[in-house]
Amino acid sequence: MFRMNFILKEKKDGSLSLVLPIWFRFLFLFIALVLAAGVFASGPESERTWIPLLIIALCTAGSLYEEKWIFNISTGKIEYINGVMLINKKIIYKMEETEIFQISGYSHLENESKLSRLRKKMIKFSLILNSGEVLNIDISTGKTESSELRKKAKRIASYCRIQLSVNSYL
């Protein structure tokens, strides 16, 4: 199964952004095109074309989906944008409203059952506001992805000049 992790980019204005990888869009667009070719080849007058057409519409919408975090120290804002392009939701948080960034996760204990040890370790990178609200920025599983998430979190916290708390059991 493929993993969809955010990519950390530095923008021209000096801000940092966490964005979905471009292959995410291409994958959904590719699926929509393959299904569209199948519908076209079988003839649109076929009885059950509504199912592939529905899947084509969903995949097309999936290719237009965006989710990103923008951290801008010059404006003092953290923006969260998600939704379908042009019809997305944008929430703005002030950096002064931020208490701390946090990396937390779960590791397996030696006395756990064999079944529970099969579950993957999950690491969360979160933003905790002064109000106590916790916003999960990124969630990752697996050893490699977790170390990448830690690197991204350290870079963002350093850039924003906000403390990064890391749980001691990670």
CB-based contact 164:98 (threshold 8 Å)? no
Give dist(CA 148, CA 117) in Å, integer: 22
Q: Is the model's pLDDT at 168 over the cut of 80? A: no
Residue 29 resides in a domain? no
**Considering its fold, how many domains does the chain have in total?**
1
Residue 154 resides in a domain? yes
Report the candidate in 147, 129, 125, 127 with the shortest Cα–Cα distance to residue 138. Answer: 125
Task: Please name the residue ranges forming H helices in 12-142.
Answer: 22-42, 50-63, 114-117
| Domain ranges, residue 15 | 7-24+63-166
Q: Which residue has the higher pLDDT, 109 or 29?
A: 29
Question: What CATH number corresponds to the domain at position 129?
Answer: 2.30.29
- What pTM was computed for the model? 0.77
Average pLDDT over residues 49-63: 83
Residue 159 resides in a domain? yes
Q: In what order do the strands lie in the sheet with 164-166?
A: 134-141, 122-129, 98-106, 164-166
Task: State the pLDDT at residue 56.
Answer: 86
Task: State the pLDDT at residue 1.
Answer: 41
Residue 53 resides in a domain? no
Per-residue confidence band for 20, with pLDDT thresholds at 50, 70 and 90: confident
Residue 55 resides in a domain? no
Q: Which residue has the higher pLDDT, 128 or 114?
A: 128
> What percent of the chain stands above pLDDT 90?
39
The 10s digit of each residue's pLDDT in 122-161 is 788 999 999 999 999 998 876 667 788 889 999 999 999 9
Instruction: Extract the tokens encoding 49.
Output: 């074309």
Top mean pLDDT of 27-36, 68-77, 112-121, 134-143 is at 68-77
